[in-house]
Structure 1
Amino acid sequence: MSNIKVLVADDDPNVCEIISLYLKQNQYDVVEANNGKEAISLFESSKPDIILLDIMMPDIDGYEVCKEIRKKANVPIIMLTAKDEELDRVLGLEIGADDYVTKPFSPREVVARIKAIFRRMPALTNNTNTNENKDFTFSSFSILVDQREVIAHGEKLFFRPKEFDLLLYLVQNPQIVFTREQLLQKVWGFDFAGDVRTVDVHIKRIRDEFAKHQILCIHTVWGVGYQFHINKKE
């Protein structure tokens, strides 16, 4: 995990200090921001590999910071929040966060979440089964695995890191119906503490992006879960 740069954005200096110290002990590079404006500025100047983003910050809250960053990059974002309501967690996921940690939390948990995100990304793009390093081409879109890009009708579609991971896993396992719990385990990892609504939010965003090109490829199997299936006309 050396050379991984983490932007820690939290208005509580004690939280920043504790997380930063633990991250540095685990060989991460760390930059700190104490408000929303500073977080956006440091994101642009320091080019972090992952962001720990507090929701309740002065001047610009974490939701707005997340939205602003998502306009420019797909860097993984973990939301730090004192809120424990499902609506707040889902909102964070809907605007582009990849994961969330509810305060109070231990620095060890934060590091575990970071490792889980980076562990899943190469695991999915270097699958040791039959689809290893294989690009996928359909009549209406293509998935470039190594580049982590989806191209439809000559246009690059916008997928956040976890959305791409979820789409790729489904594409690598066509026709198979997965429950939400199975997708949480396979894509987010066994140590993800979120709920199954997380999967629904990400599926909706993937569908919305494909809908711009009138592509339907992820289907709901009612009472069970989701499957990837391409009609011949796609």
Structure 2
Amino acid sequence: MSKIVFVEDDQDVGELIAAYLGRHDIDVIVESRGDRAEQVIVDADPDLVMLDIMLPGKDGMTLCRDLRSRWTGPIVLLTSLDSDMNHILALEMGANDYILKTTPPAVLLARLRLHLRQAGSSTSSNEDIAPALSGHKALRFGTLFIDPVNRQVALSDENIALSTADFDLLWELATHAGQTLNRDALLKTLRGVSYDGLDRSIDVAISRLRKKLHDSATEPYRIKTIRNRGYLFAPHAWESHSE
């Protein structure tokens, strides 16, 4: 049975969704306050976290951002706020999905199951990828150094802390430097699943990598977006830390 922490201050909504998901083999822990949720999540170690945005103590966007720095599992925003700006902000904060509360329960269940499957595939794939990387030599692009044996990244002598999934994504991009990789190729390699047209986890991970590797958020030049094609790791864009 999968386990979810659902942070929702409306008791009726929390109980209804918990009951529905419980009938489909998903155990739900409901927490009503945003300022208590992070510790609950760390203690419970769930398979997925689902957050409302409007919460007492700490809002869901801030909670998502703070949680992402210490927890790598899927995060879903479930909200009544139908706003493109909120949707974009949620993805930038590290969320994997943004779902409206008006979504039919069966569709919500299907999307949660998708994230749970992908998280499970990612764990299995990472276990397979780690030993495979040990046979490769370190890569250097200007001031960027990537060590696959110790799984360390440095930029201008600054150590860059990356999650396992983000390191694997960077390694996949860097070993195909100068080539455009689409979402489908990245998901198949890293998670063993195909792109379904909805999954934004690669986009979110790319955004995190750009931020940590001091790339531009508005006009990225180190990990480039190639419109309608995918992402390209630029091998000659790492000559200085502050370009």
Instruction: State whether TM-score is above 0.5.
Output: yes
- Describe how 1:79-228 pairs up with structure 2 within 5 A: 79-105=77-103, 106=105, 107-122=108-123, 124-125=125-126, 133-135=132-134, 137-139=138-140, 140-143=145-148, 150-152=152-154, 155-159=159-163, 161=165, 163-164=166-167, 166-171=169-174, 173-179=176-182, 189-191=194-196, 193=198, 202-211=205-214, 218-221=223-226, 224-228=229-233
State whether residues 7 and 51 of structure 2, in contact with CA within 8 Å, keep that contact through their aligned partners in structure 1. yes
- Counterpart in the other structure of 2:50: 52
Separation (CA, whole Å) in 2 of partners of 1:123 and 1:201: 20
Unaligned runs of 5+ in 1: none
State whether residues 53 and 80 of structure 1, in contact with CA within 8 Å, keep that contact through their aligned partners in structure 2. yes
State whether residues 222 and 237 of structure 2, in contact with CA within 8 Å, keep that contact through their aligned partners in structure 1. no
State whether residues 181 and 230 of structure 2, in contact with CA within 8 Å, keep that contact through their aligned partners in structure 1. yes
Taking structure 2 as the reference length, the TM-score comes to: 0.69
Compared with structure 1, are the counterparts of its residues 133 and 223 closer, same or farther at alpha carbon in structure 2 (3 Å cutoff)? same
1:100-134, Cα deviation, whole Å (9 max, x unpaired) = 22222224234323324314414643679xx9833
Separation (CA, whole Å) in 2 of partners of 1:217 and 1:113: 31
> In the TM superposition, what is the alpha-carbon distance from 1:63 to its structure 2 partner?
1.0
> In the TM superposition, what is the alpha-carbon distance from 1:156 to its structure 2 partner?
4.7
RMSD (CA atoms): 3.8
1:72-122, Cα deviation, whole Å (9 max, x unpaired) = 333331111222322111111111212222222224234323324314414
> In the TM superposition, what is the alpha-carbon distance from 1:7 to its structure 2 partner?
0.8
State whether residues 82 and 103 of structure 1, in contact with CA within 8 Å, keep that contact through their aligned partners in structure 2. yes
State whether residues 3 and 28 of structure 2, in contact with CA within 8 Å, keep that contact through their aligned partners in structure 1. yes
User: What is the letter of the counterpart of residue 11 of structure 2?
Assistant: P
Separation (CA, whole Å) in 2 of partners of 1:84 and 1:218: 30
State whether residues 34 and 63 of structure 2, in contact with CA within 8 Å, keep that contact through their aligned partners in structure 1. yes
SS of the equivalent of 2:132 reads coil
State whether residues 126 and 164 of structure 2, in contact with CA within 8 Å, keep that contact through their aligned partners in structure 1. no
Unaligned runs of 5+ in 2: 216-220
Separation (CA, whole Å) in 2 of partners of 1:232 and 1:226: 14
Taking every aligned residue pair, what percent have the same amino acid on both sides? 26
State whether residues 3 and 46 of structure 2, in contact with CA within 8 Å, keep that contact through their aligned partners in structure 1. yes
- Counterpart in the other structure of 2:62: 64
Moved segments of 4+, more than 6 Å:
184-188
State whether residues 18 and 28 of structure 2, in contact with CA within 8 Å, keep that contact through their aligned partners in structure 1. yes
Separation (CA, whole Å) in 2 of partners of 1:62 and 1:50: 15
Compared with structure 1, are the counterparts of its residues 19 and 134 closer, same or farther at alpha carbon in structure 2 (3 Å cutoff)? farther
User: What is the letter of the counterpart of residue 233 of structure 2?
Assistant: F
Compared with structure 1, are the counterparts of its residues 177 and 232 closer, same or farther at alpha carbon in structure 2 (3 Å cutoff)? closer
| Number of residue pairs aligned between Structure 1 and Structure 2 | 221
Separation (CA, whole Å) in 2 of partners of 1:49 and 1:39: 15
